[in-house]
């Protein structure tokens, strides 16, 4: 699978669901449910193995300040700083 982006929270939620399904599968003797859970486990594990984990910042200004700080240290351009600080992108948390 390609093109799946998760936050750290999303990754943890999927890992928790995997653990829940593994525990349920081992505890039950129902073959149909085990097969169904096995398929779900494979899908979730595939998602995790191919997902890109993106950082979450609280605002655009936090991102901008981080880039300014990086450029001040290294003397690079803002584009260069963006590629170094956020090579896969960043999620800016919406206002609540």
Q: Does residue 89 have a pLDDT over 80?
A: yes
Q: First vs last Cα of the chain: how many Å apart?
A: 32
Residue range(s) defining the domain that contains residue 25: 5-53
Q: Both 64 and 24 in a single domain?
A: no
Strands of 8-77, DSSP E: 52-53, 56-57
Cβ proximity of 44 and 17 under 8 Å: yes
Q: What pLDDT does 41 receive?
A: 85
Summarize pLDDT for 40-78 with one digit per residue, the tens.
888 899 999 999 999 988 888 888 888 887 677 667 776
Residue 52: strand, helix, or coil: strand
Q: Are residues 10 and 47 in the same domain?
A: yes
- Cα–Cα distance between 16 and 8 in angstroms, integer? 12
Query: Does 12 share its domain with 24?
Result: yes
Q: What are phi and psi of 58, to 5 degrees?
A: -75, -25
Give all strands (DSSP E) within 10-90, no chain letters.
Answer: 52-53, 56-57
Number of domains in the chain: 2
């Amino acid at each position: 699978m390609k093109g799946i982006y998760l936050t750290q929270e999303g990754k943890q939620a999927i890992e928790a669901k995997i653990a829940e399904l593994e525990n349920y599968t081992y505890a039950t003797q129902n073959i149909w449910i085990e097969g169904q859970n096995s398929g779900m486990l494979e899908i979730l594990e595939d998602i995790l193995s191919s997902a890109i984990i993106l950082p979450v910042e609280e605002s655009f200004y936090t991102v901008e300040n981080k880039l300014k700080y990086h450029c001040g240290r290294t003397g690079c351009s803002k584009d260069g700083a963006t590629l170094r600080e956020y090579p896969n992108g960043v999620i800016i948390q919406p206002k609540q």
